[in-house]
Homo-oligomer: A and B are copies of this chain.
Amino acid sequence: MTTASWLDLPADSLFGIHNLPYGVFTTPDDPRPRIGVAVGEQVLNVAAVANTVGVDPELTDLLDATTLNPLLGAGRPVWTQVRALLTEWLTDPAFRSAVEPELTPRQDVSLHLPFQVGDYVDFYASEHHAANLGRLFRPGSEPLTPNWKHLPIGYHGRSGTVVVSGTPVVRPQGQRKAPADAVPNFGPSRRLDIEAEVGFVVGAPTELGDSVPLDGFADHVFGVCLVNDWSARDIQAWEYVPLGPFLGKSFATSVSPWVVPLEALRQARVAPPARDVEPLPYLDDRDAKEPWGLDLSLEVRLNGTVVSRPPFAAMYWTAAQQLTHMTVNGASVRPGDLFASGTVSGPDRGTEGALIELTWNGERPVALPDGTTRSFLEDGDEVTITATAPGPDGSVIGFGEVSGRVLPARG
């Protein structure tokens, strides 16, 4: 693509013409939530432009909404059509007079949860993360459980506590029991952690009883966002056997406000790591023409300091395998379903996506420029996760950020 925008965006813009992520915004003048597309330093009110230039009324209806859900449910052909329209508006100077009045500086808008979340599923797809957690949670056992390389392990999280970036996170209280304690005690989590993840937003639904094959991924997944799956390690460690994490996770999951369309990630697609256990046929992507490994580079900042750079390309299981596995039993998906990759941790120090790994359970605390150190999060700490991916023509696709500050536990 050699498209250039009449907006005259800098070549290194993370929200350039090849990105065009979707969100939902309000302005001080107009508190009605509406769909926006980020371009450069501005946000485009897409329904307003659609109304001005006159497009298919069915398309306008999808865009003139308070959440992305109607658009999500419309499916791949419509997503392609809308993206083509956006590109035309932003590149053909004939549309400049219609588009320009509908641009608002990004700094002047408030961003909201861009879609109503249906089911939220969290996977566990980084071999490095799963092995690290296995060593920390189950010392003396094999780090990976026997099923790990046969299926993408996942579980359902709480969709009602998915919040948009910027929402403060109240330190959770709960039951904690250190190995030396005879009985559990109750109080604020002492081991509040993050999980830097990548989230996949489901668009087109399926019927109960059907499943999505590996090559159906792009028909059903609309786009990608960033996720911080806040985790209270002490609560989680005590509660999670035998039915999995619950209160250690359910107090908050933060997502970035911009959903990057799958089309923007064409140049980011890479082969996933070699499959050293033969996958069952429904999960076998070794001969896939278009593997769904994605070369996203994440950064985790703690109070402004970069503490980790997790590489998404190192994830063992792809999002396509996750969607196929999640539906192979006939479970249906809905517009607004969100599934996250699990913590993105690479093989090297400084690439871990959670503090428990980065600080090795507090044994090697992270030093911050103010002279303090962190094993886990303290009240007032702010965590920000960003990511970029390669785009066409040397451009870079940005994901914006998912950020949150820790508030003290309520008394």
A residues with CB within 8 A of B: 118-119, 121, 124, 134, 137-138, 145, 147, 150-151, 153-161, 163, 167, 170, 172-175, 177, 183-186, 208-211, 232, 235, 238-248, 250-252, 280-282, 325-326, 328-334, 337, 407, 410
Contact, CB under 8 Å: B243 / A155:
yes
A333 with B160: CB separation less than 8 A: yes
Q: How far is the CB of A206 from chain B (nearest CB, A)?
A: 10
Collect the chain B residues with CB atoms within 8 Å of residue A174's CB: 328-329
Q: Are the CB atoms of B163 and A250 closer together than 8 Å?
A: no
- What is the distance, in angstroms, from A79's C-beta to the closest C-beta of chain B? 21
Identify A241's interface contact among B147, B246, B333, CB under 8 A: B147
Q: A241 contacts which chain B residues (CB < 8 A)?
A: 145, 147, 242
Closest CB in chain B relative to A325 CB, distance in Å: 7
Q: Among B119, B157, B281, B330, which residue has its beta carbon within 8 angstroms of that of A186?
A: B281
Which B-chain residue is minimally distant from A144 (CB atoms)?
A: B242
CA distance A177 to B280 in the complex (A): 12
Contact in complex: A410, B158 (CB < 8 Å):
no
B161 touches A331 (CB 8 A): yes
A179 to chain B, nearest CB (A): 11
Distance to closest chain B CB from A375 (angstroms): 20
Given A175-B150, A239-B151, A251-B330, the answer on whether A119 and B170 have CB atoms closer than 8 Å is no
Which A-B residue pairs are the 4 nearest by beta carbons? A244-B244, A172-B329, A156-B156, A170-B209
A141 → chain B closest CB, angstroms: 10
Q: Which residues of B contact A157 (CB under 8 A)?
A: 156
Distance (whole angstroms) from the CB of A406 to the closest CB of chain B: 12
Contacts A155-B155, A155-B243, A251-B329; is A280 near B186 (CB within 8 Å)?
Answer: yes
Most buried by B among A172, A174, A250, A251: A250
Contacts of A160 in B (CB 8 A): 118-119, 331-334, 337
Q: Which of A210, A245, A246 has the most CB of B within 10 A?
A: A246
Residue of B161, B232, B245 near A244 (CB, 8 A) is: B245
Are A242 and B145 also in contact (CB < 8 A) when A119-B159, A247-B326, A251-B330 are? yes
Known: A151-B239, A239-B147, A246-B155. Is A282-B329 also a contact (CB below 8 A)? no
